[in-house]
Structure formats: structure tokens, C-alpha cells
């Protein structure tokens, strides 16, 4: 099994047997058998085209901050390592998909451009943020998204403005084998002092309501329409529920934290227990907000 993939794929920088504990913020999961890390859009395209023509499934990893991996993954995993820094053009800022979402927010603040303050505490990459239409504090990425670039599942390059229906609450059209390459956000002229003050206020809010000091994957379940999953879990008396080193955070019910040695199986058991209890108490079926990779195929959202 030393060269199991077509040559154009094997030509891309790659690593073998990387534990998902090192690739995700939650710190659980098995082994990533094949991690491909292209450093140019051309390499990403070569990867996707080769996979498409060989009929090979693959998965795309961003910053691993919204992901629960439940076992070993044998299918090739793509993680972009595009080296470009953000570029400013008037009120627009462009960045590659592998750029940090929080770093982009900080770069905008530095330039006195307003609109990305909401992202100041959201980890992960810009590509992951597009994939999930990440948001906080009543704002989400699509609110500032001017254009986005991606490869179709067949490897065709597309650049376009977002259209209605392509980005919704924690969902975007970028699933189903499409690979985000980069984005351009359109921001507003802002006062750097006010931007800094807003970011500081968000940081305090997060610091008091979310368990930032413990390994976690952000909110685990989607908020049901008009409800807060965290509040429902809290009201069901589940804070502090523990399976091994996996725990429903006492700080926020929708965060499951890893106290250090938690396993994927413990997280799966804890998530199922929370869903069952919330269904019994409130009659509401919570849906995962995190992406879940369970062997052998990815779960399609």
C-alpha cells in the first residue's frame, strides 16, 4: 500500500498516519492515514481532478475546529496550505481558504475595515468558515461575502458572488465534494478604536459563557428554530454529564469538552445521551452542528 493513489495525487506533498488528535481542536479520533497538503491552487485542482477521474472519495479538512472524528480515516484527506497573505483592494479583502478566520478578522481590524468583528473568536480556516457559513453574535460570513472561489467536485474552477439559498444557517453549497479555494469579503470603512472595542466586548461575552480553556469543537448541536440548544441541554439538567474524559461543559450546555484523555467513542456516547435526554424532556431532536467523520464515508450534511 505504498502508492495506492494515482501519480498526480502522490505528487502532492503528503504525510502518513497523522493522529486526528493533532488535527482537530477537540483532540479525539483515530488516524489520518493519508494527509495531502497542496501549496498551490494548481495542486488542489490536480488532486480533485485525479480523484474525480479515478472515482476516489476524499475528505477536506480545514482547521479541524468543528469536527468530531470517530475512527481511522483511510480515504485521502485534503488540507490546503496556500501561502498567500490577505490582499486589500479598497473596501474588499481577499484571502485563500487556508487562511485563519480569526487572523482575517484581525487583519481587517488592523486596516480599519469593519464587518468581520463577529469572527474575532471563531477558530478554523476561512474555507471552513465558508463551508459552514460560520457565525456568531447575530452575524455570519455570508453577510460580508462578496465573491467566493471553489472547485466543483469535477475540479472545475468557479468564482462567483453568493446567491440566495447558497449559504444558510451553518450550511453552504460548498459541501458535496466542492473545495473552497478563497474568498473576497466586502467591508466598511470603520474606526479602528470602535472595532477594537467591539472585538473586546465579544471576547468578554465568549469568555464568560463558553469553556475556552478546554479542548472543544465549538457548539455541538444546531440551534433549533427559535431555540438555543445550549439552553435546552442546560434545562434538561445535563451540564456536567460525563462519559470518561468527555463532559457536557458546566459553562455552556452546547459545548462538550475533552478533559485530556477522552476517546471518540466517549464523545459519540455523550452526544447520543444528550440527544436522547433532550428528546425525552423537550420533545426536540437536536441535530449535530459539528461535522462528524465516521468510517468509512463522510456524513453528508
List residues binding ligand EPU (CB under 6 A): 136-137, 209, 218-219, 222-223, 228-231, 234, 252-254, 289
Q: How far apart are CA 264 and CA 124, in angstroms?
A: 20
Nearer to ligand EPU, 49 or 242 (CB): 242
Nearer to ligand EPU, 47 or 118 (CB): 118
CB 234 to ligand EPU: min, Å: 3
CB 228 to ligand EPU: min, Å: 4
Half-sphere exposure for 265 (CA within 13 Å, toward CB): 1
CB 65 to ligand EPU: min, Å: 8
CB 290 to ligand EPU: min, Å: 8
Show which residues are catalytic.
170, 219, 289
Nearer to ligand EPU, 13 or 240 (CB): 240
Amino acid at each position: 500500500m505504498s502508492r495506492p493513489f494515482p501519480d498526480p495525487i502522490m505528487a502532492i506533498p503528503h504525510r502518513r498516519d497523522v493522529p486526528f488528535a493533532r488535527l482537530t481542536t477537540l483532540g479525539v479520533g483515530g488516524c489520518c492515514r493519508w494527509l495531502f497538503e497542496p501549496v498551490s491552487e494548481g495542486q488542489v485542482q490536480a488532486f480533485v481532478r485525479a480523484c474525480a477521474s479515478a472515482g476516489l472519495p476524499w475528505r477536506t479538512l480545514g482547521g479541524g475546529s468543528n469536527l468530531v472524528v470517530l475512527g481511522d480515516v483511510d480515504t485521502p484527506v485534503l488540507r490546503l496550505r496556500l501561502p498567500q497573505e490577505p490582499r486589500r483592494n479598497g473596501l474588499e479583502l481577499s484571502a485563500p481558504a487556508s487562511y485563519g478566520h480569526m487572523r482575517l478578522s484581525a487583519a481587517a481590524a488592523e486596516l480599519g475595515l469593519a464587518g468581520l468583528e463577529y469572527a474575532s473568536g471563531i477558530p478554523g480556516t476561512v474555507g471552513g468558515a465558508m463551508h459552514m457559513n460560520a457565525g456568531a453574535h447575530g452575524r455570519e460570513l455570508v453577510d460580508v461575502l462578496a465573491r467566493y472561489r471553489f472547485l466543483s467536485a469535477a475540479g472545475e474552477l468557479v468564482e462567483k458572488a453568493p446567491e440566495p439559498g447558497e449559504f444558510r444557517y451553518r450550511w453552504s453549497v460548498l459541501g458535496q465534494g466542492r473545495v473552497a479555494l478563497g474568498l473576497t469579503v466586502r467591508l466598511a470603512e470603520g474606526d479602528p478604536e470602535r472595532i477594537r472595542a467591539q472585538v473586546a466586548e465579544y471576547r468578554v461575552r465568549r469568555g464568560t459563557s463558553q469553556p475556552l480553556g478546554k479542548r472543544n469543537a465549538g457548539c455541538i448541536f444546531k440551534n433549533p428554530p427559535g431555540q438555543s440548544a445550549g439552553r435546552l441541554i442546560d434545562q434538561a439538567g445535563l451540564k456536567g454529564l460525563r462519559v470518561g474524559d468527555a463532559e457536557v461543559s458546566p459553562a455552556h450546555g452546547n459545548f462538550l469538552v475533552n478533559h485530556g484523555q477522552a476517546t471518540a467513542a466517549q464523545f459519540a456516547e455523550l452526544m447520543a445521551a444528550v440527544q436522547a435526554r433532550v428528546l425525552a424532556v423537550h420533545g426536540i431532536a437536536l441535530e449535530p452542528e459539528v461535522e462528524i467523520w465516521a468510517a468509512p464515508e463522510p456524513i453528508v450534511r
